[in-house]
Amino acid sequence: MSLVNITPDELHHLTAGALVASGASDSVAKAMAQAVVSAELDGIASHGLAYAPIYCEHVQCGKVDGQAEPVFSTLRPATGRVDAKCGFAHPAIDAALPPLTDMARQHGIAAVTLFNSYNCGVLGHHTERLARAGLIGLGFTNAPASIAPVGGRTPVIGTNPFSLAVPDLTNTGVALLIDQSASVVAKSEVTARKRQGEPLPEGWALDANGDPTTDPDAALAGSMVPSGGAKGFNAGLMTELFAAVLAGAHLGIEASPFAGTQGGPPQTGQCFIAIDPGAFGDNGFGGGVSRLLAAIAAEDDVRLPGERRLQNRARARQTGLQVDAGLLDRVKAISGE
């Protein structure tokens, strides 16, 4: 794989152009291009440019409605719901977070679910927005089934990430960002290894017979290994209940794949919960968070969750990005540049 240098603005322009050429509206294209750039800035290449051709393909084949305009509905004073209209998740989340923030500030805690949705990319990017607004952000998103129960062979839930973002109340920043899937690694890492012709590390996946495999094709036909065994599967099950069942979205076993053109819109879901720390009285929340994280950081060679992303982001904004030349050529070809 050869790498080429590109600025974030150039990558945004090319990705948005490719999506518009594929049939997406200008506003949707810009939202998805920003998602691609943000992932690359954070060093999460598996969710960055690698997804741009997939997004374009899914607009072209109708798996995603690139013209969809999400609809937000207030259900109760502190709950809401967004119909993503079988469009991309990011514009739907953009429609959800401002009213969610307002409701949480007014009532102390609030929640919004999304249905008829799609892959939301890096989940932590969305909960981070809540933390930067001074709220504790908790997010769940489900995905097409790819994890079998421990001892089983048939996938029942997706990699099903959940994310927790905690505000730094002293500088309107983020003190802590947890963003992890229920599997050992995200499924996109397996597809990336397949694309690069590389074997998987041991312990990532099982084949269709439930046996360990390092073959990406066998892994994609089998199941991902849950992180921590049954505990990881249970974390994914929790996510499924919030993001799919509570949201009224497709279960992982009902959703079409996020890769390829098979099936119609996945119609998966998300759930976001926002909590105002100040709504729980004079609890010294900011100081407590600082003491907790200081105790963790005091250990040698220990990194706080989310710290690497922020470091990658700061460095990339100074030096620019390095992306896969082949992927970039594909996006250029789609955009007509």
Q: Which of 189, 227, 240, 256 is catalytic?
A: 189
Among 227, 225, 182, CA closest to 206 = 225
Query: d(Cα 229, Cα 231) in Å, to the nearest integer?
Result: 5
47 is catalytic: yes
Q: Hey, is 110 helix, strand or coil?
A: strand
Q: Which of 25, 38, 46, 335 is catalytic?
A: 46
Beta bridge partners of 82: 72, 114
Tokens describing residue 249? 């979205």
Tokens describing residue 192? 């990336």
Beta bridge partners of 115: 83
Q: Identify the helix (H) or strand (E) that includes residue 324.
A: strand 321-324
183 is catalytic: no
Q: Hey, is 285 helix, strand or coil?
A: helix
On whether the CB atoms of residues 145 and 138 are closer than 8 A, the answer is no
Q: Identify the helix (H) or strand (E) that includes residue 67.
A: none
| Other residues' Cβ atoms within 10 Å of the Cβ of residue 17 | 18
307 is catalytic: no
Q: Which residues are catalytic?
A: 46-47, 189
